[in-house]
Amino acid sequence: RYRYYQNVCAQSYSFVWWDWARWEREIDWMALSGINLAPAFAGQEAVWQRVYRNLGLNQSEIDKYFTGPAFLAWNRMGNLRRWAGPLPPAWHLKQLYLQYRIVERMRSLGMTTVLPAFAGHVPQGILRVFPRVNATRLGHWSHFDCTYSCIYLLDPEDPMFQVIGTLFLKELIKEFGTDHVYGADTFNEMTPLSSDPAYLSRVSSAIFRSMTGADPKALWLMQGWLFQHQPDFWQPAQVRALLHGVPLGRMIVLDLFAESKPVYEWTESFYGQPFIWCMLHNFGGNHGLFGTVEAINHGPFAARRFPNSTMVGTGLVPEGIEQNDMVYELMNELGWRQEPLDLPSWVTRYAERRYGAPNAAAASAWRLLLRSVYNCTGVCVNHNRSPLVRRPSLRMDTELWYNASDVYEAWRLLLSAGAELGSSPTFLYDLVDVTRQAAQQLVSDYYLSIRQAFQSHALPELLTAGGVLVYDLLPELDSLLSSHSLFLLGRWLESARAMATSDREAEQYELNARNQVTLWGPSGNILDYANKQLGGLVLDYYSVRWSLFVSALVESLNSGRPFHQDQFNQAVLQVERGFIYNKKHYPAVPAGDTMEISKKLFLKYYP
C-alpha cells in the first residue's frame, strides 16, 4: 500500500535550509518515484510556540527549549534543548509559509502527509505554570549533559497530557488540514522511566488518545528505531506493551533499519501492528560509496513471506540525502517488483539511463562498484569511519568491506568514458564521487605509512608520507570537490545564510551549519557524526587536523617524548573550534575543470 520516504533526522541533516524551489524539486522527485506517504514537519515550532503562549509560558521559557534550526530533529524527539538556539520570530514565519506549500503540493500529487503530534515532552516552563503537573526528567542523551539535555516527560496519566496533546493537534489541523496520519517518537534513544509493561502501554495509549481527541480517525506512524537501538531494554514484553497500547491497525511502525537489523523477525511482525520495511542506509548525511544491495534486493520479499506478515509498504529513511543515488533508485524500483532483480543487468541499464547514452566502460565501472562498495553483507552500519573525516589518532579504523582495487579500476574506467560522457552532469557528479572515494582510500594508505614510520622511529619516512598527505593529496582532493556545486561547503553555508532576515540571524544560522558538520555540540559531543567531504571543509578542517597530527608525531620523535592522545585532543579541539568561528567566506560557485583535476589525481596516485 505504501512507499514511504524521509527520516526525521533528514529534516536537520539535509532539508533544514531549503527554500520552496528546492522543496518543490524534492516533492516532484518523490512523485516521479512513486512515494505516497511522507512527513510534512516544517513549521511545527510556530504552532508549538502559539500553544505554549496560550498555556501561559513566557518567551524566555520557550527560547530555553527550542534548539537552533540545524538541531530541531532532536528537539522534536526529546533528546536536546536550547543548543544553538533560540529560534528567531522570522524563522517561524518562513517555515509556516513553506509548510503551506509543502502540504498543498504533496496532496495535489496524491500523497498522504504525516503531521507531527505530541509525544509527551514539555519545556520546563510548564512546571511553573502548572506546579502540580506530574512530569519527570529523562536522562541525558548521547554525550550531552543536562545543560542541553534531560527533557521533562509528562506522566501519561496526568490530565495535562491530553490537554496539551489535543490542543496542539487541533491547532495544527486548523492550520494545515489533515490526512489523518501523525508521527510521534517518545523514546527515541531515550530510556523510559520504567520497564513495567503496564507503564509503557499507558504511555502509548495516552499519545494515541491525545491524537484521537483532535482527530477520531487518527493513525499513528512511529519509528521502530528504539527497539533495535536499545534491545536490552526493549525485550519482547516491553515491545508488545508499547505496541498494544494502541488498537491493532491504528499504528504503523517503520522498521527503520530493516536491511541490517530487522525488528519484525523477533517481534512476530510487530505483534500484529502494520509495519513498513525501510532501508536506512545512511547516517549523518556522510559521503562515502556504500550500499547493501543484496539485503535490499531480497529483504522486502522475505518480509512479505514471513508468517502472518503485517508488512504494508517499503520505505527510504536515510538520515541525510544527496549521496549514493543508485541505492535509492534501486530501493524505489523494488517497491514495484514481484521478485528480486538481476542486479548486474539492472545496474548496466541504470548507467545508461543515468548518463543518457550506452557506454561499455561506464557500465563496467558500475558493475565493479555494485560488487564492491555497494555490496556490504552482514550487519552493515554505514558510518563513514575513514581516517580522512575522523579526528587523527594512532588507533584509526582502516577496514574496508570491499576490495579497494575495484574502486581504483572503476575510477580508471569512468575517466576513459569521459570523452563520450563528459557533457552529462550526472556523469561529472559520479566522476567526482568515485575519485573522492579513491582519494579516501589513499588517505588510509598514507595514514598507515605515517603510523608505521612513527612506530619504527623512521623520521624521513614519516616526513615523506605526512608531507604528501598534507601538502598534496588533501589539497588536490579539496580542489576536485571545489569543482562541483554539490560538493561545496559554500553551498551549505550560503543556503543557511539565505534563510536569515538580518545579519545577526545569518551569523547564527551559519554557526548552526558549521557546527553540525563538525563538532555537533559545544565541545565535540557527537564529533564528526555528520561529516561531509566538501570543498573548503577538507582544506580548512580535515587537512588542518592532519597537519597538526603529523607535526605532533614529528615533534615526539625529535624530542623523544611520547605522543599523548589526550594532549593532542585538547590542541586539536582548538583547531576544530577555530574552523567554526573563522568567518571565512567559502564560494558557493564551483571552480576548475572536474575532468582535468580527476585526471591529474589519477596520473599522480593511481596505484
β-strand pairing of 37-39 with 112-116: parallel
- Domain range list for the chain: 2-341, 369-605
Which cell numbers in the block locate residue 47?
504552532
Could you give phi then psi for residue 39, rounded to 5 degrees?
-70, 150
Which residues have C-beta within 8 Å of that of residue 39, sequence separation ≥ 6?
A: 6, 8, 11, 113, 114, 115, 116, 183
Asked if 141 and 80 count as a contact pair (C-beta separation under 8 A), the reply is yes
Residues of the chain with pLDDT under 50: none
| CA dist., res. 121 & res. 589, Å (int) | 42
Say if residues 483 and 589 touch (Cβ distance below 8 Å).
no
Q: Which letter, b or e, does each residue of 488-498 get, where b requires 16 or more Cβ atoms within 10 Å of its Cβ? A: bbbbbbbbbbe
Reported CATH class of domain 369-605: mainly alpha
**Helix (H), strand (E) at residue 304:** helix 293-305
Q: What pLDDT, in 10s, does the model give residues 115-172?
A: 999 999 999 999 999 999 999 999 999 999 999 999 999 999 999 999 999 999 999 9
Q: What tens digit of pLDDT does each residue of 455-503 get?
A: 999 999 999 999 999 999 999 999 999 999 999 999 999 999 999 999 9
CATH of 2-341, one of 3.40.50.720, 3.40.50.1110, 2.40.10.10, 3.20.20.80: 3.20.20.80
Does residue 274 have a cis peptide bond before it, meaning omega lies within 30 degrees of 0? no
pLDDT at site 380: 87
Tell me what pLDDT residue 379 has.
83
The helix (run of H) or strand (run of E) holding residue 207 is helix 197-212
Give me the DSSP letters along 385-403. Answer: --GGGS---SS-----SS-
Q: Is the dihedral of CA 454, 458, 461, 462 positive or negative?
A: positive
pLDDT in tens, 389-443: 999 999 999 999 999 999 999 999 999 999 999 999 999 999 999 999 999 999 9
List, in sequence order, every residue forming a beta bridge with 37; answer none if it has no partner.
4, 112
What would the grid cell of residue 487 be? 560538493
pLDDT at residue number 128? 98
Q: How far apart are CA 121 and CA 136, in angstroms?
A: 10
The pLDDT value recorded for residue 382 is 79
Grid cell, residue 486, equals: 554539490
Joined together, the cell numbers standing for residue 17 give: 535550509
Grid look-up 527549549 returns 65
